Amino acid sequence: MTKLVTAVIQPHRLDDVKSALEAAGVRGLTVSEASGYGRQRGHTEVYRGAEYTVDLVPKVKIDVLVADEDAYGVTEVVIKAAQTGKIGDGKVWVVPVEDVARVRTGEHGDDAL
C-alpha cells in the first residue's frame, strides 16, 4: 500500500523541507503554490491610507508518495524542517492511495515509487 503525504507550509521553509526529505531518502516530490489561511488569518496592507485585509496568504504545498511504513517518518521530517513555532506554520496530513503507477514502465504499487 501507498500513502500520500501532503504538507502545506510557509514558503520560506521550502528549501529546508526539500533538503530534509532528500536526506531522509525521499526520491521525488511535487511542489505547488497554494494560498489560504488557518488560525493566523491573513494580514493587512495599507495603500494611500486605505487598509485592505488580505485573507489568503501565500503557502507552498508539497505532495510526497511514500510506502505505508514510511508515512509517519516522512511526516515527522516535514514537521521538524518546517516548524518555526509561530502561528501559520501549516499542516501535514496523510491519506491512503488506492494505486500508483509509473508512467514510463507501467509498474504499479510501491514498485512505482
Partner 1 sequence: MDFTLDTGNTAWMLISSVIVLMMTVPALAFFYGGMVRGKSVLNMLMMNFIAVGTVGLVWILYGYSMTFGGSTTGVGQFVDNPFEYFGLVGLTDDKSLMAASGVPALVAVAFQATFAVITVALISGAIADRIKFGSWIAFTVVWVTAVYFPLAHMVWGGGFLGVGGKVSEWLSTPIDFAGGTVVHINAGAAGLALALLLGRRKGWPTSPIRPHNLPYVMLGAALLWVGWFGFNAGSEFAADGTAGRAWINTFVATCAAMLTWLVTEKIRDGHATSLGAASGVVAGLVAITPAAAAVDSFGAIAIGAIAGTVCALAVGLKFKFGFDDALDVVGVHLVGGITGTVLIGLLATNKQGGWYPDGAQNGLLYGGGATQLITQILVAAIAVVFSFVLTYVIGSIIKAVTGLRVSEEDEVSGVDLALHGETAYETLDGSRVLTEVN
Question: Least CB distance from residue 93 to partner 1, whole Å?
Answer: 20
Question: Least CB distance from residue 57 to partner 1, whole Å?
Answer: 10
- What mask, x for binding partner 1 by CB under 8 A, covers residues 13 to 52? -xx---------------x-xxx---------xxxxxxxx
Long-range contacts for 30-36 (Cβ within 8 Å, ≥24 apart)?
30/62, 30/63, 30/64, 31/60, 31/61, 31/62, 31/63, 32/60, 32/61, 32/63, 33/58, 33/59, 33/60, 33/61, 34/8, 34/58, 34/59, 34/60, 34/61, 35/59, 36/8
**Structural Rg of the chain based on CA atoms:** 17
Question: Least CB distance from residue 58 to partner 1, whole Å?
Answer: 4
Stretch that binds partner 1, among 55-63, 64-72, 83-91, 100-108 (CB under 8 A): 55-63
Stretch that binds partner 1, among 9-17, 21-29, 65-73, 90-98 (CB under 8 A): 9-17
Which residues would be at the binding site for partner 1 (CB under 8 A)? 11-12, 14-15, 31, 33-35, 45-54, 58-60
